[in-house]
Amino acid sequence: MRTPNGSPIRREAYRPLAYGVETVDLDFVLEAQATLVTNRMRCVRNPDSDAGPIVLLGDGLTLVSVRIDGAEPAPGQLRETGSGLEIDVNADSVVVEIVTRIDPSANLTLSGLYRSRGGYYTQCEAEGFRRITYFPDRPDVMARYTVRLEADAALCPVLLSNGNLLETGSLPNGRHFARWEDPFPKPSYLFALVAADLKALERRVTTMSGREVLLQVWVEARDLDRVDHAMESLIHSMRWDEETFGLELDLDRFMIVAVSDFNMGAMENKGLNIFNTKYVLANPQSGTDVDYENVESVVAHEYFHNWTGNRVTCRDWFQLTLKEGLTVFRDQQFSADMLARASDSPAAAASARAVTRIANVRVLRSAQFPEDAGPMAHPIRPDSYQEINNFYTATVYEKGSEVIRMLHTLLGKEGFRNGMDLYFSYHDGQAVTCDDFVGCMAEANGADLDLFMRWYSQAGTPRLKAEGVFDAADGSYTLTLSQRTPPTPGQADKLPLHIPVAVGLIGADGKDLPLQLEGEARAGDSTRILELKEASKSWRFTGLAAEPVPSILRGFSAPVILEVDENDARLAFRMAHDSDPFNRWDAAQRYMERVILALAADAAAGRQLEVPQAFGHAFRALLVNESLDPAFLAEILALPAETYLLECMPQADPAPLRAALMHLMRELGHAMQADFLDRYLDLEVDGDYRYHPADAGKRALRNLCLRYLTAWGGATAIDLAQKQFEHAGNMTERYGALAALVQSDAPARFDALAAFHEQYKDDALVLDKWFLLQASAWRWSEAAPATLEQVRALMDNPAFSLSNPNKVYSLLGGYFRGNAAEFHRPDGAGYAFWVEQVRALNKSNPQVASRMARALEGWRKFTPEIQARIRAVFETLAKDEGLSPDVAEIVGKALA
């Protein structure tokens, strides 16, 4: 039914269809094993396309009947093709009625119509709709939908679909129905239905134009005490989009539905967002501050898609970043604004914004940089793919968002808003391309963005080199910026990109110097955006009394790897003084990275490990600095992600890296015991839990202090962690204490894990944390049980199931992606286990299987011994018959 393995779909092959669809009337008779779908669509000739048949796509459907304008098809008029049906017609407009039968109970892929905990749910993006009915299932076919649902009234009392409810009613035999109408034309990937036993939290709010709208968050009855935060987040998102972009909710009703079995985070179906429970449910007893943050940002993300994705959608799936990069940028801005709003001074607001930015960049560096350096490297707008589901990537999303952010930086807030306004005025209701979007940004600002478009076509992480020369004779400082992007698969030669580089110069007193660029009248700014468009360019700053310390790429103004020659003293200086909080954090990260990589080299060579004193001083100066916001401190004192550090090693070697990380944490915990303890005791948050940035920041820093203390492992530390675990008033504290115990070699960790399991064994989301923690745990002593054996044992826990993605992501993902040193054990047992699990998942849920398979795709960065072992398991897998296109693409590219 699909494109055979190995024959990719190309962006350049795009052609509009001969026939589109104007209206669709769907009728679902929902039965567990045999759901009948009647699809009546008005197909209309596309005047802009060449002549041709009506082309319908279908996957795994049982065809019951077809009628064309009410009649049986004439002989030869209807053909079954490998991917669906083709119908020859002469008329400009015909009504095609197709009846199909599907088996939602047998659908474990969680794409199309499937069952979860007794209910029926759909997931159609990217190509799930063709698993429900025959349809031109591509995003450039936008149609108006009506939907009738019929199901057992006792089992599925709630029947939902997109848009507005027209009618409900009872039927014989205990059944009932509902009819829905979506007034907005939409692509099929935004279709959704839900039929289940759910309850809703409801709120009525008034939009900026004065319309009253109904908001609902639907969950199982037992979860109703966990939905307030999702509802609050939805209301905040609505207000933010009105205030920031003048964009209003366009429907009378907006629904969020939570489902336990879901492949990714959530889905922006028109008016009926379907969410993984993980991103809806949170109360103080079950969710951590991080869960609260995630719920807020995913609710916002899906809500923002209503304009950036639904009202204006993608012409084809190569344009995915058009909606995803832009919507990620919007949700990141929203999160930063929410944090800043809760701050009580401009400085606090800047620090709060930096905390969001740091979180964004951590994700980029630990997930996107490795992707861009591996066999799956692709531009944010790929040129080809074998399986589109493999391209919902960190590159399309996170780097895509960085590209939008650069436009925002280059054009300014107002210029960006003008571009957005123009985009909606031209393209509302259309399926468009990334060129259309950037074209609007250029037109609205009179800007030339031709060169900027290279960000859409060039893969790989650019290296930005900064070199400065101070001339004491004339008080000038010449800064030379140069760029180069290493080759990526299929793209050997790279061209210069248009890179905005935010630069500041710091004086010896630690204060920013006013910037005066040679030949420019304007002066005085402390940060300037330099636009690098060529391979290399120099800028001359004048009027300087002494050599400044440059602070380059402030706010992480471009998704690049900055190469700058800074000695330890300079990093410590910026760690203490950089006025740009992001760069201050980054200086600390760079310093830590340097220290950790040196320790890892020593560990690999069997040398004694020693943490440089100067680093300890710089670290401690921050730890005891009470003028810094705790949330920011929690970021600046946390080590860089292991996945990112592996990328930074000349030859990635997980074991010595892990030894280095453990050594550093232990040593810092030991040397600064008293300071960690003081801060720990100071940071206690009194009163009832509230999700507030100030409280969350304190809890984050407090838990981090505890982590350093238990890493060292003195009796006081373990006792503190146990007390916090026992007396915690909320999940952030309880889980923080459990994590601190598990990340130590204290025997108390086993009791804590058992107690946690006992308390939450019926709470799926909390248990996911328990699985994750054990799968990703470091081994602090040789005596500790091997992680792999524990992971295997945990698979037998009654709460674990390979068919629930959250469980797989926690336990298997936690091991494959979150525990490099244990997964890459020298005996290869981790890889054998990986082959087993990828094979099992490949049969039931290819999307999840592919995600797990990707854990090893970056194998070429490792030492030759590790490479040889991983290559062998990829080769084993490659010989399997029946690999899904999803997994086959990953394996094929990994070996190419």
Just list the catalytic residues. Answer: 302
Amino acid at position 353, single letter: R
What is the DSSP pairing of strand 158-161 with strand 112-116? unpaired
887 binds, among Zn ion, ligand B3K, none (CB under 5 to 8 A by kind): none
Q: Which of residues 293-332 bind Zn ion (CB under 5 A)?
A: 324, 327
Q: Compute the least distance from the CB of residue 398 to Zn ion, in Å.
A: 11
Kindly state whether residue 337 participates in binding ligand B3K, applying the rule CB under 6 A: no
Give least dist CB 390 to ligand B3K, A. Answer: 9
Residue 4 CB coordination number (10 Å):
9
Q: Is the CB of 327 or the CB of 458 nearer to ligand B3K?
A: 327
Q: How far is the CB of 265 from ligand B3K (least distance, A)?
A: 6
In the bound complex, what is the minimum distance in angstroms from residue 279's beta carbon to Zn ion? 12
Under the criterion CB under 6 A, does residue 302 sit at the interface with ligand B3K?
yes
The only residue of 125, 261, 372, 889 in contact with ligand B3K, by rule CB under 6 A: 125
The item of ligand B3K, Zn ion, none sharing an interface with residue 43, based on CB under 5 to 8 Å by kind, is: none
Q: Residue written as tokens 């993980």?
A: 278
Residue 125 contact, options ligand B3K, Zn ion, none, Cβ 5-8 Å cut-off depending on partner type? ligand B3K
Cβ proximity to Zn ion: between 162 and 327 the closer is: 327
CB of 118 to ligand B3K, least distance (A): 24
Nearer Cβ to Zn ion (25/324): 324
Amino acid at 754: A
Is residue 510 within 8 A of residue 452, CB to CB? The reply is no
Listed residue (372, 390, 398, 493) closest to 861, CA to CA: 372
641 vs 561: CA distance, rounded Å: 16
Please identify, among the stretches 300-308, 448-456, 717-725, 781-789, the one whose residues bind ligand B3K according to the rule CB under 6 A.
Answer: 300-308
The binding track of 341-380 with respect to ligand B3K, each residue x by CB under 6 A or -, is ----------------------------------------
Tell me the per-residue interface mask from 76 to 115 with ligand B3K, x by CB under 6 A, - otherwise: ----------------------------------------
Whole-angstrom Cα distance, residue 54 to residue 87? Answer: 5
DSSP letters spanning 115-128: EETTEEEEE-TTTT
- Kindly identify the residues of this chain, within the stretch 594-613, that bind ligand B3K according to CB under 6 A: none
Binding mask 728-767 for ligand B3K (x = CB under 6 A): ----------------------------------------
Measured from the CB of residue 742, what is the shortest distance to ligand B3K in angstroms? 31
Which C-beta is closer to Zn ion: that of 245 or that of 632?
Answer: 245
By beta carbon distance, the residue nearest ligand B3K is 125
DSSP assignment of 731-753: HHHHHHHHHHHHTS--THHHHHH
- Which of Zn ion, ligand B3K, none binds 389 (CB below 5-8 Å, type-dependent)? ligand B3K
* Cα(739)–Cα(782) distance, integer angstroms: 19
Q: Which of helix, strand or coil describes residue 274?
A: strand
Dist CA 690 CA 659 (whole Å): 38
Nearer to ligand B3K, 685 or 852 (CB): 852
Subset of residues 314 to 333 that bind ligand B3K, contact rule: CB under 6 A:
324
Residue 126 found at the interface with ligand B3K (CB under 6 A): yes
Binding residues among 382-441 for ligand B3K as defined by CB under 6 A: 389, 392
Interactions with ligand B3K, residue window 197-256 (CB under 6 A):
none
d(CA 203, CA 465): 53
Token duo for residue 159: 């029947």
What CA dihedral angle connects 853, 855, 859 and 861, to 10 degrees?
160
We find the least distance from the C-beta atom of residue 305 to ligand B3K, in angstroms, to be 6
Q: Return the half-sphere exposure (C-beta side, CA atoms, 13 A cut-off) of residue 796.
A: 4
Of residues 388 and 611, the one with the C-beta less far from ligand B3K? 388
Report the residue number, 401 or 776, with the smaller CB distance to ligand B3K: 401
Site string for Zn ion, 327-356 (x = CB under 5 A): x-----------------------------
Measured from the CB atom, is 274 or 740 closer to ligand B3K?
274
Nearer to Zn ion, 691 or 809 (CB): 809
Stretch binding ligand B3K (CB under 6 A), from 90-98, 301-309, 521-529, 578-586: 301-309
Longest dimension (CA), the chain: 95
User: What is the smallest separation between the CB atom of 454 and Zn ion, expressed in angstroms?
Assistant: 24
**Chosen from ligand B3K, Zn ion, none, partner binding at 769 (C-beta under 5 to 8 Å by type):** none
Provide the token pair at 882: 């029946």
Distance (Å, rounded) from C-alpha 131 to C-alpha 124? 8
Q: Contact, 323 vs 329, CB < 8 A?
A: no
Tell me the angle at which helices 693-712 and 654-671 cross, rounded to the nearest 10 degrees: 100
Q: Return left, alpha or beta for 116; rule: phi > 0 is left, psi -120 to 50 is alpha, else beta.
A: beta
Q: What's the min distance (Å) between Cβ of 492 and ligand B3K?
A: 30
* Buried-exposed string 676-708: b where 16+ CB fall within 10 A, e elsewhere: bbebbeebebeeebebebbbbbbbbbbbbbbbb
Strand segments, DSSP code E, in 272-395 are 272-276, 313-314, 384-385
DSSP E strand stretches across 300-390: 313-314, 384-385
Cα(84)–Cα(699) distance, rounded to whole angstroms?
A: 55
Of ligand B3K, Zn ion, none, which one does residue 150 interact with (CB within 5 to 8 Å by kind)?
none
Q: Which does 234 bind (CB under 5 to 8 A by kind): ligand B3K, Zn ion, none?
A: none
| 773 binding partner (options ligand B3K, Zn ion, none; Cβ < 5 to 8 Å by kind) | none
Closest approach of ligand B3K to the CB of residue 327, in Å:
7
**Nearest residue (CB) to ligand B3K, 320 versus 453:** 320
Per-residue x/- track, 246-275, ligand B3K (CB under 6 A): ------------------x-xxx-------
Least Å distance between CB 516 and ligand B3K?
Answer: 45
The CA-atom distances, in angstroms, between 445 and each of 421, 449, 529, 558 are 12, 10, 17, 20
The one of ligand B3K, Zn ion, none whose footprint includes residue 254, by CB under 5 to 8 A per kind, is: none
Q: For 180, what's the count of Cα atoms within 13 Å in the CB-facing half-sphere?
A: 27
Nearer of residues 323 and 353 to ligand B3K, judged by Cβ: 323
Contact 276, 301 (CB under 8 A): no
Task: Tell me how far apart the alpha carbons of residues 669 and 659 are, in angstroms, rounded to a whole number.
Answer: 15
- Does 137 bind ligand B3K (CB under 6 A)? Our answer is no
Contact status: 458 vs ligand B3K (CB under 6 A) = no
C-alpha 292: how far from chain center: 16
Q: Which two tokens stand for residue 731?
A: 């999940």
126 binds, among Zn ion, ligand B3K, none (CB under 5 to 8 A by kind): ligand B3K
Our CB check for ligand B3K shows the closer of 330 and 574 to be 330
C-alpha–C-alpha distance, residues 526 and 580, integer Å: 10
Q: List, in sequence order, every residue forming a beta bridge with 171; answer none if it has no partner.
A: 175
Core vs surface per residue 339-361: b (16+ CB within 10 A) or e: bbeebeeeebbbbbbbbbbbbbb
Task: Judge if the upstream peptide bond of residue 659 is cis by omega within 30 degrees of 0.
Answer: no
Is 518 strand, coil or helix? Answer: coil
* d(C-alpha 890, C-alpha 896), whole Å: 10
Stretch of residues binding ligand B3K (CB under 6 A), selected from 297-305, 370-378, 582-590, 693-701: 297-305
Query: Which is nearer to ligand B3K, 137 or 268 (by Cβ)?
Result: 268
Q: Which residues bind ligand B3K (CB under 6 A)?
A: 125-126, 264, 266-268, 301-302, 305, 324, 389, 392
Q: Which residues bind Zn ion (CB under 5 A)?
A: 324, 327
